[in-house]
C-alpha cells in the first residue's frame, strides 16, 4: 500500500513540475508583454509629439506663405499704380513732343543760328543806309526772325521737358521691371512655402498612422496580458491545490501501515468508481475492491 502512495506522490510531483514550468513560461511571457507595452506606448507618444511638431512646422510655412502672398498683392496693387503713372507720363510726353514739333515747324532752325541772324539783321538795319523799301523788307525779316527765335527758344524749353519726361518714364519703367521681378521671386517663395507646408502635413498623416499602429499594438498586448493574468491566477490555484494534495500524500507515508491502508483503499475505491463511470477497463484489484465494498453488481453489469 505504501508503494501506491509513493506512486501518487511521484505523479503529483511530476504534475507540479509541469505546472511550475508552465507558470514560469507565463511569467516570461508576461514580462515580454509588459516590455512590448512600454515600448509601444513610448513609440506612440514619440510619434504623437513628432506629428505635433510637423503640424507646428506646417502652420509656420502657411503663415510665411500668407505673408508672402500679402506682399505680392501689395506689389501688384503698386504695379497697377505704377502703370497708371507710366501712362500719365507717356501721355504728357506725347503732348510735349507734339508741342515741340509744332514750335520747331514755326522756328525752322536752331536758336543759336536764329539769334545770330537776328543780331546780323538788326546791325544791318541800324548801321546801313537802306532805301525805304529795303528797310521795310528788313523790318519784316527781323519780325519774322524774332517770332521764329521765340518759337525756337520755347521749343528748346519744351524739349527739355520732353527729356525730363523720358527720364521719368525710364525710371518708372525700371521701377515697374523691379516690381515684376520681385513679384516673380515672391511667387516662387510662396510656392516653396506652400509645398513645404503640404509636405509637413502629409508627413504628419503618415506619422499619425504609425502612432495609431503602435497604439493598436499596445492595446493588443494589454488584452493578451489580461487574459494571461487570468490564466496565471488559475495556474497558481492549480499549483496550490496540487501542493496541498502532495503534502497530504507525504503525510500518509509517516502514518501507521493500517492507517495508510485505509486511506489508500479509500483512494483506490474512488479511482475504481471513476473508471466504472467512464466505462474504462478494470484490473483485478479494482474489480475485487468494488465487489468487496458492494459497489459493483455483476448481474447488472452482465445485463
Give yes or no for residue 45 having a pLDDT over 80: yes
Mean per-residue pLDDT, 171-189 = 90
Q: Is the dihedral of CA 289, 293, 296, 297 positive or negative?
A: positive
Long-range CB pairs of 50-53 (<8 Å, 24+ gap) are: 50/207, 51/204, 51/207, 51/208, 51/211
Cα gap 8→242, rounded to integer Å: 11
Q: Give the pLDDT of residue 257.
A: 52
Give yes or no for residue 48 having a pLDDT over 90: yes
Q: Give the pLDDT of residue 255.
A: 52
Query: 188 vs 106, which has greater pLDDT?
Result: 188
| Residues whose CB is less than 8 angstroms from the CB of residue 166 and which lie 6 or more positions away in sequence, other chains included | 93
Query: pTM to 2 decimals?
Result: 0.55
203 within 8 A of 51, measured Cβ to Cβ = no
Mean per-residue pLDDT, 184-212 = 94
Cα gap 65→198, rounded to integer Å: 12
Give yes or no for residue 62 having a pLDDT over 80: yes
Work out the mean pLDDT of the chain and round it to a whole number: 83
Q: Give the pLDDT of residue 40.
A: 95
- pLDDT 10s digits, 200-249: 999 999 999 999 999 999 999 999 999 999 999 999 998 899 888 888 77
Cα gap 22→17, rounded to integer Å: 9
Q: Give the pLDDT of residue 259.
A: 46
Domains within the chain, CATH numbers bracketed: 11-222 (1.10.287)
In the chain, DSSP finds a helix count (H) and a strand count (E) of 6, 0
- pLDDT 10s digits, 132-143: 888 788 788 888
Q: Flag the least confident range among 105-109, 172-176, 267-271.
A: 267-271
Q: Give the pLDDT of residue 256.
A: 43
CA dist list (Å): 177 to 80, 91, 172, 180? 12, 20, 9, 5
Longest CA–CA span in the chain (Å) reads 189
> Residue 216's Cα: distance from chain center in Å?
21
Which grid cell is 282?
A: 478494470
Amino acid at each position: 500500500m505504501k508503494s501506491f502512495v509513493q506512486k501518487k506522490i511521484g505523479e503529483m510531483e511530476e504534475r507540479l513540475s509541469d505546472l511550475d514550468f508552465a507558470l514560469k513560461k507565463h511569467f516570461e511571457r508576461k514580462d515580454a508583454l509588459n516590455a512590448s507595452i512600454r515600448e509601444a506606448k513610448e513609440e506612440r507618444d514619440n510619434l504623437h509629439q513628432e506629428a505635433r511638431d510637423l503640424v507646428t512646422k506646417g502652420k509656420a510655412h502657411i503663415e510665411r506663405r500668407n505673408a508672402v502672398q500679402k506682399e505680392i498683392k501689395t506689389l501688384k496693387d503698386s504695379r497697377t499704380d505704377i502703370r497708371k503713372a507710366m501712362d500719365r507720363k507717356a501721355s504728357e510726353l506725347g503732348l510735349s513732343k507734339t508741342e515741340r514739333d509744332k514750335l520747331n515747324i514755326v522756328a525752322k532752325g536752331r536758336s543759336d543760328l536764329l539769334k545770330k541772324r537776328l543780331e546780323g539783321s538788326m546791325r544791318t538795319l541800324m548801321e546801313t543806309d537802306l532805301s525805304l523799301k529795303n528797310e521795310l523788307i528788313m523790318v519784316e525779316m527781323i519780325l519774322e526772325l524774332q517770332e521764329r527765335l521765340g518759337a525756337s527758344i520755347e521749343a528748346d524749353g519744351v524739349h527739355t521737358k520732353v527729356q525730363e519726361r523720358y527720364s521719368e518714364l525710364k525710371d518708372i519703367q525700371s521701377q515697374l521691371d523691379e516690381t515684376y521681378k520681385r513679384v516673380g521671386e515672391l511667387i516662387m517663395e510662396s510656392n516653396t512655402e506652400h509645398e513645404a507646408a503640404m509636405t509637413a502635413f502629409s508627413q504628419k498623416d503618415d506619422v499619425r498612422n504609425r502612432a495609431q499602429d503602435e497604439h493598436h499594438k499596445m492595446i493588443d498586448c494589454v488584452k493578451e496580458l489580461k487574459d494571461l493574468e487570468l490564466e496565471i491566477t488559475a495556474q497558481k490555484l492549480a499549483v496550490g491545490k496540487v501542493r496541498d494534495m502532495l503534502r497530504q500524500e507525504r503525510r500518509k507515508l509517516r502514518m501507521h501501515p493500517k492507517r495508510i491502508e485505509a486511506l489508500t483503499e479509500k483512494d483506490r475505491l474512488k479511482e475504481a468508481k471513476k473508471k466504472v463511470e467512464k466505462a474504462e477497463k478494470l484490473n483485478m484489484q479494482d474489480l475485487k475492491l468494488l465487489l468487496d465494498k458492494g459497489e459493483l453488481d455483476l448481474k447488472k453489469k452482465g445485463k
